Structure 1
Amino acid sequence: MPRRRGVSVRLKLTFSYAGFLMLAGALLLATVWVFLLRYVPDHAITSQPGLDGLVRFFPDRSDLQRAFVPRAAEAMAFLLVFGLLGGWLLAGRMLAPLGRITAATRRVASGSLSHRIAMEGRDDEFHELADSFDAMVDRLEAHDAEQQRFAANASHELRTPLAITQTLLDVARNDPDVDVRSLIDRLHEVNTRAIELTEALLTLSRADQRSFSRERVDLSLLAEDAVEALVPLADKRGVAIDSDGTAAPAFGSHALLLQLMTNLVHNAIVHNIAEGGTVQVSTAVDGNRVGFTVENTGPVLAPELVATLTEPFRRGTERVHSDHAGLGLGLAIAKSIVHAHDGMLTLTARAEGGLRATVLLPRAPSGT
């Protein structure tokens, strides 16, 4: 909302400095006045003639007032001028870092996310504010770059099934002898994959926006459900799944946390050795946190590759698509779901091959 222009902070500080200085000066002069009054009589006193024959008069309070008040007024006027001038200079010096922060904020607001304040000097409130601003812009720049990559990859991934569909339809239209049954099966396969991709993108968006209700969820029960649903796929690929652990109560979305568990177990099954692979799923409680671990055998992964696995549309082994190759969104969705639940997802390459995925979430408070 538009607001009326108010008095500048520098002017307010100037008046504050000058006002405080005037107040201190007034208190000092008042103290001196009270002190002098103790030694000045109410009426003038005339002394007896001295040895020199002179009669001396001692001043009374009216004489003190005539001598003190003009000098006090001059002192107060000096303090006022000095306070305004000094306060203006001091306020400008103190607010100079704030001017740099304001200028940087405007540059970032105009789209220059690469700009940083990089304030030098000792730590103080302004330095802490500048460092916090730089850290915020770092996150914004990284998020913006990630969103741009995601948009480009999503456009590419969504365009692929549409292009395949268009090609199949063009071939069918130009070839009257086309196998209709085969064409329908192929179109059904392509359409199914497009639907899966769209649903994955919607899940990712829903997790990022945190637009879901929360309830008490036992991660050990979710692990059992995810394993049970994926046993046929594991049997088909010759992978043995072992699940164990204790009750691990979390507080969040049952559907999203089940999706998280399913994605990690599915990833562990698909990214495994051809025959004789294993997947270990376990849950645990650690103080005020609960978590689960999904660990699998598989090819040896480089640490720099593991660091990119949670990026959308990244496929760790750069393999070709198979029947369960996935969309490249499983770990990206898992990461978003974990962050939406204020948790942490850690991926670690196993020395003997395979991947260990560890999720830590806040423990559900008792009584929820």
Structure 2
Amino acid sequence: MTTIRVRLTLVYSGLFLLTSVVLLVTVNLLLSHALSTRVGRLPVPPPAAEVPPGGRGGDGVRPPLPELVDDVVGYQWEVTWLAVGVLALVSLLAGWLVAGRLLRPLHRITATARRLSLSTLHERIALTGPQDELKELADTFDAMLDRLERSVDAQRRFIANASHELRTPLAVQRAAIEIGLPPDLGEIRDKLLTHNRRSERLIDALLLLAQAEHGLRERAPVALDEVTRLVLAEQAGGPVSVTARIEPCVVDGDAVLLNRLVTNLVDNAVRYNRPGGTVEVTLAGRRLTVGNTGPEVPADRLGDLFLPFRRLGTTREQGAGLGLSIVASIAAAHGGDVRARPNPGGGLTVTVTFPPA
């Protein structure tokens, strides 16, 4: 791939060389024509017999003038082509340096754009120099970052406010159901509490999904192996057999979100499983793999698993369809990648790969 710096260098060098060659060739042609014309106007020397005593005639001491003109013009052409070669090298070097200096602001803009994330939106290019097109581009980029930072801050405040405003009525509602309903309405009371808890889980999942999709504000080293062991300890004694092979692994990110990622993977593997089935959890290198022996999953429906509110043969009582979409969002916030593949005979294997530390 040819970079713009190489193209600019070739353009500068080409134009400089073209101008230099045209100039030198024109000068040489004019010089050759002028010498030939001037020599043609000189008087012809008399023959040796007509030279007076003590005079100078054509005694062969100096070469004939036409041959001298040819020697001068030939030497001039040799010097010209040598100068063209030297100018080619000089123009390439000068073009490379000039192009690099002109493109330096673009490299700064590119480096800032690559470095930016939702946690570093406060950074700006702040390009200094003359008010040219590159300065205008950098200022436009900074203005866009200002608008983006304000928008992200507003959405974060909305998530925090929504978290409080949505959870409080549900907590009051649950307390009213538990305390206010008489014991003889036990079936209705249990049904209302079930719907209340389901609403709480749905709101928590939606808020977590929104938080994950907005990226990480701060990062810290998290021992993913310890997080995985804690999650598996909570699953001990369940109806599904869980086996694990865990190696040390440290991920730069958010401990709460990583805990939820592992929890969702294990919960899904346990929930969507057959009676007496198994779940295998493997953490090796920077790859977390969770597989189960659940029902068969069509290969053409794997992409739907990571979309919100998508369910494959399940009911609302089994979940809201946000588990794997939250996993995908948390992995993306940590720069990771999520892949799923169906297992032979039924079940699913989900693999989360984290970037190098």
TM-score normalised by the chain length of structure 1: 0.51
Q: Is the aligned partner of 1:292 residue 2:288?
A: yes
Partners of 1:37 and 1:190 in 2: how far apart?
A: 105
**Cα distance between partner residues in 2 of 1:253 and 1:315:** 28
- Pair 1:319 & 2:324 matched: no
Report what 1:243 is aligned to: 244
CA contact (8 A) 1:310 1:332 kept: yes
On the 8 A contact 1:249/1:363 being kept in 2, the answer is: no
Measured in 2, the distance between the counterparts of 1:32 and 1:255 equals: 81
Structure 1 counterpart of 2:340 = 347
What corresponds to 2:23 in structure 1? 26
Corresponding residue number in structure 2 for 1:334? 327
Call closer, same or farther: CA 1:359–1:38 in 2, change over 3 Å.
farther
1:264 and 2:260 matched = no
How far apart in 2 are the matches of 1:326 and 1:48?
A: 116
Contact 2:216–2:254 (8 Å) recurs in 1: no
Indicate the residue corresponding to 2:221 in structure 1.
216
How much has 1:353 moved relative to structure 2?
Answer: 1.7
* C-alpha distance in structure 1 between counterparts of 2:231 and 2:327, whole Å: 14
Deviation at 1:42, TM superposition (A): 9.5
Instruction: Output the amino acid matched with 2:219.
Output: R
Partner AA of 1:350 in structure 2: N
Give CA-to-partner distance per residue, 1:66-119, whole Å, 9 cap, x none.
xxxxxxxxxxxxxxxxxxxxxxxxxxxxxxxxxxxxxxxxxxxxxxxxxxxxxx
Asked whether the equivalents of residues 278 and 297 of structure 1 are also in contact (C-alpha less than 8 Å), the reply is yes
- Contact persistence 2:336–2:353 (CA under 8 A): yes
Secondary structure in 2 matching 1:194: helix
Q: Is the 8 A contact 1:251 1:362 kept in 2?
A: no
Paired with 1:253 and 1:339, the residues of 2 have a C-alpha distance of 12
CA deviations 1:314-366 (Å, max 9, x no partner) are: 223x12244xx1210101111111222222211111112211111111232xx
Question: 1: distance between equivalents of 2:253 and 2:282?
Answer: 19
Alpha-carbon separation, structure 2, partners of 1:37 and 1:266: 96
Q: For the residues of structure 1 that align with 2:29 and 2:22, how far apart are their CA atoms? A: 11
Q: 1:189 aligns with which of 190, 194, 198?
A: 194
Q: Which has the larger radius of gyration?
A: 2
Which SS does the other structure have where 2:305 is aligned? coil
CA distance in 2, matches of 1:22, 1:341: 55
Cα–Cα, structure 1 residues 331 and 24, in superposed 2: closer, same or farther, change >3 Å? same
Distance 2:33 2:183 in 1: 117
Partner of 2:81: none
Change beyond 3 A, Cα 1:18–1:353:
closer
Q: 1:283 to 1:39 in 2, by over 3 A?
A: same
The question of whether the paired residues in 1 share the 8 Å contact of 2:216 and 2:253 is answered with no
Paired AA for residue 266 in structure 1? D
Residues 194 and 42 (structure 1), Cα distance of their counterparts in 2 relative to 1, 3 Å cut: farther
> Using a 3 Å threshold, how does the CA distance of structure 1 residues 37 and 225 change in structure 2: closer, same or farther?
farther
Moved more, 346-355 or 263-272: 346-355
Q: Tell me the C-alpha RMSD between the 2 structures.
A: 4.3
C-alpha distance 39-222 of structure 1, shift in aligned 2 (>3 A): farther
Looking at structure 2, the residues matched to 18 and 261 of structure 1 have their Cα atoms a distance apart, in angstroms, of: 62
| CA-to-aligned-CA distance 1:189-232 (integer Å, 9 cap, x gap) | 32332232222122222222213321222222111111122336
Could you say which residue in structure 2 is the equivalent of 1:151? Answer: none
**Aligned residues with identical type, % of pairs:** 31
Secondary structure of 2:200's partner?
helix
Higher helix content, 1 or 2: 2
Q: CA-to-partner distance for each residue in 1:124-160, whole Å, 9 max, x for gaps?
A: xxxxxxxxxxxxxxxxxxxxxxxxxxxxxxxxxx9xx
Alignment partner of 1:307: what SS?
A: helix
* Aligned length, in residue pairs: 225
Aligned to 1:309, what secondary structure does the other structure show? helix
Q: Structure 2 stretches of 5 or more lacking a match?
A: 1-12, 48-64, 70-165
* Structure 1 residue 239: Cα displacement: 0.7
Residue 33 of structure 1 deviates from its aligned partner by 3.7
The corresponding residue for 1:280 is 280
* Corresponding residue for residue 88 of structure 1: none
Offset at residue 182 of structure 1 (A) = 5.4
Task: Summarize the alignment of residues 169-180 of structure 1 with structure 2, pairs less than 5 Å apart.
Answer: none
